[in-house]
Structure 1
Amino acid sequence: MFQLGKTIVSEEIIGNDFVCNLSACKGACCVKGDAGAPLEVAETQILKDIFPKVKPFLRKEGLKAIAEQGVFTTNDFGEHETPLINGEDCAYVIYDRKGTALCGIEEAYNQGAITWKKPVSCHLYPIRVKDYTEFSAVNYEKWHICDPACALGEELQVPVYKFVKQALIRKFGEDWYNELEVLASKT
């Protein structure tokens, strides 16, 4: 771990390789697990505001889950998350013709219906950020469903932090990312 501004960063984001391999995993990170995607407080209002424009991109099962649970949920720890369909798929998941899970929010963004790409936690994946009072912890979340992404990243020699460059800049700013690159070059 090392400190960068008001963040404590795991060296694993520099030392591990990663490139999403959707043809292998089929977007499993959006349909596996026991919770929805983490949301920042400001993102809950964004979801409320954009939902009418995202709605046409979603599946009927997702729309039903959102109608029942809301555009976001709050867990027992007071953390906000995307709702789930029957405890599995994120309610915002859509599928392409090959059965790959994609983000309906991101599809609305790609089609020009909205200007917000998707929750930053999704954009950052496989990096997870936990905010504390004095700092944010920036960690690499290794999950067996991403083994094909690790293999592809190793083959292409792309470290985790480079794979999620745009998301890290979105979250922490360009200066922070440039400092990260300098530190990474020294390891």
Structure 2
Amino acid sequence: MNIPPIIQIGDILISSDIITEKFCCDYETCKGICCVEGDAGAPVTIDEVMEIENSTDVVWDDLSASAQSVIDQQGVAYTDQEGDLVTSIVGGKDCVFTCYDGDNCLCALEKAYRKGLTGYCKPISCALYPIREKVFSDGTVALNYHRWNICECGRKKGKALDLPVYQFLKEPLVRRFGEEWYQELCDVAEMLLSSDNQKE
């Protein structure tokens, strides 16, 4: 493809594979394994930590005893080895807000939100995945498409549905950057893909 590797929408830098790659979470296959894999929690902002703290009482009974103990000892978030603020984890991997429905991993925060019990859904870093956001020291924001081996089923499903990453993530992208920005992203994506197809 002749689409440039980096695209700028407003003041946000975007990796072009967010437009060109296909993705759709296949929860029936993966069982929500992203909540319990990895060596750190989900990146969060200070504002999100406050939102999570306000929601903790609502979801408390859905959390494991181990998760409750971790929260009691260090709170809902901590600073990891890279200096990033992330959600607390259990046993070096499980997010403290993981709860279970049989073999399926669920986010207790999102579960409560979907039931209308809280106004906060989940960290935007979780909602945006497989897009990862990077904020540079000058304030520039960059969005990159992250490939994790546990999400292979999501890539296969996305290809089967012919669903680009940015379309799959419409809701969290609008939540993070606004409706106007997202529409501009769609317009640019359509223009670039159309131009590229004509060249082929």
Could you tell me how far apart the structure 2 residues matched to 1:62 and 1:23 are? Answer: 25
Across the two proteins, how many residue pairs are aligned to each other?
Answer: 186
Alpha-carbon shift at residue 142 of structure 1 (Å): 0.6
1:183 aligns with 2:188: yes
The residue aligned with 1:35 is 40
Among 105, 118, 122, which residue is 1:114 paired with? 118
- Greater alpha carbon shift after TM alignment, 171-180 vs 51-60: 51-60
Q: Percent identity between the aligned chains? A: 39
Among 111, 120, 127, which residue is 1:123 paired with? 127
Alpha-carbon shift at residue 167 of structure 1 (Å): 0.2
Amino acid at match of 2:163: V
CA RMSD of aligned residues (A): 1.2
Confirm or deny: 8 A CA contact 1:57 1:108 kept in the other structure.
no
Among 52, 61, 73, which residue is 1:47 paired with? 52
Could you tell me how far apart the structure 1 residues matched to 2:139 and 2:68 are? Answer: 38
Could you tell me how far apart the structure 1 residues matched to 2:145 and 2:78 are? Answer: 24
Could you tell me how far apart the structure 1 residues matched to 2:52 and 2:120 are? Answer: 9
Where does structure 2 lack aligned partners over 5 or more consecutive residues? 1-5, 194-200
- TM-score, normalization: structure 1? 0.95
The residue aligned with 1:87 is 92
Among 149, 154, 171, which residue is 1:166 paired with? 171
- TM-score, normalization: structure 2? 0.89
Could you tell me how far apart the structure 1 residues matched to 2:139 and 2:44 are? Answer: 19
The residue aligned with 2:73 is 68
Confirm or deny: 8 A CA contact 1:6 1:134 kept in the other structure.
no
Confirm or deny: 8 A CA contact 2:52 2:120 kept in the other structure.
no
Confirm or deny: 8 A CA contact 1:57 1:107 kept in the other structure.
no
For each residue in 1:138-166, what CA deviation from the matched residue of structure 2 results, as whole angstroms up to 9, or x when unmatched?
A: 01111111000000010011111111100
Alpha-carbon shift at residue 134 of structure 1 (Å): 3.2
